[in-house]
Structure 1
Amino acid sequence: MSNDENRHSGSRKGVAVITGASAGLGRACAREFAKQGYDVGLLARGEDGLKGAKREVEEMGRKATYVSVDVADAQAVEQAAAKIEQELGEIDVWVNNAMNSVFSPVKEMEPEDYKRVTDVTYLGQVYGTLSALKRMLPRDRGSIVLVGSALAYRGIPLQSAYCGAKHAIQGFYDSLRTELMHDNSHVKITMVQLPAMNTTQFGFVKSRLPNKPRPMGKIYQPEVAAEVIAYAAEHERREYRVGYPTLEAIIGNKIAPWYADYVLAKNGFDGQQTNEPEDPNRKNNLYEPLPGDHGAHGTFDEKATYTSPQVWLSLHRQEILTGALALGALALGSLLTRNNRD
Structure 2
Amino acid sequence: MAKGRDVRVAVVTGASAGVGRATVRLLAQRGIAVALLARGRVGLDAAAEEVRSAGGRPLPIEVDVADYEQVVAAGRRIEAELGPIDLWINDAFSSVFAPFEETRPEEFRRAMEVTYLGYVHGTRVALSHMTPRDRGTIVQVGSALAYRGIPLQAAYCGAKHAIVGFTESLRCELLHERSGVRVTMVQLPALNTPQFDWLLSRLPRHAEPVPPIYRPEVAARAIVGAADRPYRREYWVGTSTVLTILGNRVAPGLLDRYLARTGYRSQQTGRPADPDRPNNLWHPLDGPGGRDYGARGGFAGRSHGHSPQAWLSRHRRLIAAGLAGTAAGLVAWRRH
| TM-score (structure 2 length as normaliser) | 0.96
Deviating above 6 A after TM superposition, structure 1's stretches of 4 or more consecutive aligned residues are none
Give the distance between the partners of 2:191 and 2:208, measured in 1 at CA: 9
1:251-270, Cα deviation, whole Å (9 max, x unpaired): 00000001111110111001
2:190 alignment partner, SS class: coil
> Do residues 239 (structure 1) and 239 (structure 2) align?
no
**Cα RMSD, aligned residues only:** 1.4
Query: Which residue identity lines up with residue 202 of structure 1 in the other structure?
Result: F
Query: Which residue identity lines up with residue 39 of structure 2 in the other structure?
Result: R
Q: 2:213 aligns with which of 197, 208, 219?
A: 219
Measure how far apart 1:13 and its partner are: 3.4
Measure how far apart 1:234 and its partner are: 1.7
- In the alignment, which residue of structure 1 is the partner of 2:150? 156
- In the alignment, which residue of structure 2 is the partner of 1:332? 331
Measure how far apart 1:37 and its partner are: 3.5
Give the distance between the partners of 2:325 and 2:266, measured in 1 at CA: 45
Aligned partners of 1:103 and 1:209 also within 8 Å: yes
Q: Which runs of 5+ in 1 are unaligned?
A: 338-342
Measure how far apart 1:83 and its partner are: 0.8
- In the alignment, which residue of structure 2 is the partner of 1:53? 47
Query: Which residue identity lines up with residue 231 of structure 1 in the other structure?
Result: G
- In the alignment, which residue of structure 2 is the partner of 1:66? 60
1:13-52 to structure 2, matched below 5 A, reads 13-52=7-46
- In the alignment, which residue of structure 1 is the partner of 2:280? 285
Give the distance between the partners of 2:246 and 2:116, measured in 1 at CA: 23
Aligned partners of 1:13 and 1:37 also within 8 Å: no
> Do residues 296 (structure 1) and 290 (structure 2) align?
no
1:123-138 to structure 2, matched below 5 A, reads 123-138=117-132
1:187-229, Cα deviation, whole Å (9 max, x unpaired): 0100110100000100010000000000012000000010010
Query: Which residue identity lines up with residue 330 of structure 1 in the other structure?
Result: G
Measure how far apart 1:85 and its partner are: 1.3
- In the alignment, which residue of structure 2 is the partner of 1:308? 307
1:148 alignment partner, SS class: strand
> Do residues 93 (structure 1) and 87 (structure 2) align?
yes
Q: 2:246 aligns with which of 251, 254, 265?
A: 251
Give the distance between the partners of 1:180 and 1:38, measured in 2 at CA: 27
1:145-172, Cα deviation, whole Å (9 max, x unpaired): 0111111100000000110000100100
Aligned partners of 2:31 and 2:54 also within 8 Å: no
Fraction of identical pairs, as percent: 52
1:80-130, Cα deviation, whole Å (9 max, x unpaired): 111111111111000000001100011211100110000000000000000
> Do residues 120 (structure 1) and 119 (structure 2) align?
no
Give the distance between the partners of 1:76 and 1:116, measured in 2 at CA: 16
1:64 alignment partner, SS class: strand
Give the distance between the partners of 1:160 and 1:206, measured in 2 at CA: 13
Query: Which residue identity lines up with residue 277 of structure 1 in the other structure?
Result: P
Aligned partners of 1:64 and 1:88 also within 8 Å: no
Query: Which residue identity lines up with residue 22 of structure 1 in the other structure?
Result: S
Query: Which residue identity lines up with residue 280 of structure 2 in the other structure?
Result: N
1:282 alignment partner, SS class: coil
Give the distance between the partners of 2:317 and 2:156, measured in 1 at CA: 34
Measure how far apart 1:293 and its partner are: 1.0
Larger radius of gyration: 1
Measure how far apart 1:271 and its partner are: 0.2
2:37 alignment partner, SS class: strand
> Do residues 82 (structure 1) and 76 (structure 2) align?
yes
2:184 alignment partner, SS class: strand
Give the distance between the partners of 1:108 and 1:261, measured in 2 at CA: 20
